[in-house]
Structure 1
Amino acid sequence: MVRFIIFAALISVALMIYTVIECARSEAHQVRSLPKPAWFAVIVFLPLIGAALWFTLGRPLSAETSTAQTSRAPDDDEDFLRQLEVWRRQQQRDAELTAREEELKRREADQQKNQSTERPSKETKDHKNKSDGNGTAAPES
């Protein structure tokens, strides 16, 4: 008989702790019948009866309203996937822009290089065509 009383006391304490935690985690505006502090008093001072009353009269109606959020995998979250796609497109645009800038810089450098090599040779050609070396102009062909 003593073992049964100890077992019943342990079950009663465990149920009371569970009920107090559940009462504490529930939103104040969702608790039914009594305010939360009153429910704490009922649960603590009437362990088995208080727990039964909480589950029947005070507990919020649905489990959906609890504050615990269900975790979802990132690949199931539409917002995450949308944000990932936006990030990927931005990275692609940045890479294309960088490639275009490099191509433009390369073309400008080639163009400047070509202009600097063309000018001296063109000037020397023009100078040779205009004079024959003794101060007289050579006929143009």
Structure 2
Amino acid sequence: MVRLFIFLAAVALVLLILALISGLSAERVRNAPRAVWILVILLIPVAGPTAYFLWGRPVRRTRRPSRRPSAPDDDADFLRSVDSEQSRRDRELLAQWERDLHQDDEPDRP
């Protein structure tokens, strides 16, 4: 019986802490001002946090999927632009090397 009491007390404490953290960190709460919810959570042992989670906690809105990729390597347009930019630089460098090589091969003409 004592173990059950300790377990229920631990559950009530965890519920209280979670509700308190959620109530203090939420941008907005529903159905009452934040101060009222904090008092309800603190003064009514199990029913306060339960009521907060049922009626006070803000409803999470589903976020619309972002049209922008989250990382540069997820963006195909970015990868194409990087690849084309690097390819252009490589082609220019190769052309310069070929010009230098051909200039070295040609004999000097007076």
Q: Which structure is higher in RCO with an 8 Å CA cutoff and minimum separation 6?
A: 2
Does the residue aligned with 1:17 lie in a helix, a strand or coil?
helix
**Is 1:106 the counterpart of 2:96 in the alignment?**
no
Q: Look at both structures and tell me which one has the larger radius of gyration over its CA atoms.
A: 1
Offset, 1:20: 2.2
Structure-1-length-normalised TM-score:
0.57
Aligned Cα RMSD in Å? 3.0
Aligned-residue sequence identity (percent) comes to 27
Does the residue aligned with 2:42 lie in a helix, a strand or coil?
helix
Structure-2-length-normalised TM-score:
0.70
Task: Provide the rounded CA distance (Å) in 1 between the counterparts of 2:15 and 2:61.
Answer: 19
- Which consecutive aligned stretches of 4+ in structure 1 deviate over 6 angstroms post-superposition? none
Task: Provide the rounded CA distance (Å) in 2 between the counterparts of 1:37 and 1:94.
Answer: 62
Offset, 1:19: 1.8
Structure with the higher helix share, 1 or 2: 1
Aligned to 1:33: 31
- Deviations along 1:71-105, one digit per CA (max 9) or x if unpaired, are x996994xx33322322222111111111122223
The structure-2 alpha-carbon separation of the partners of 1:53 and 1:75, relative to structure 1 and needing over 3 Å to count, comes to: same
Aligned to 2:11: 11
Structure 1: gaps (5+ residues): 66-71, 120-141
- Deviations along 1:14-73, one digit per CA (max 9) or x if unpaired, are 1112222333443x14x21233343233222223111121122111123536xxxxxx99
Does the residue aligned with 1:32 lie in a helix, a strand or coil?
coil
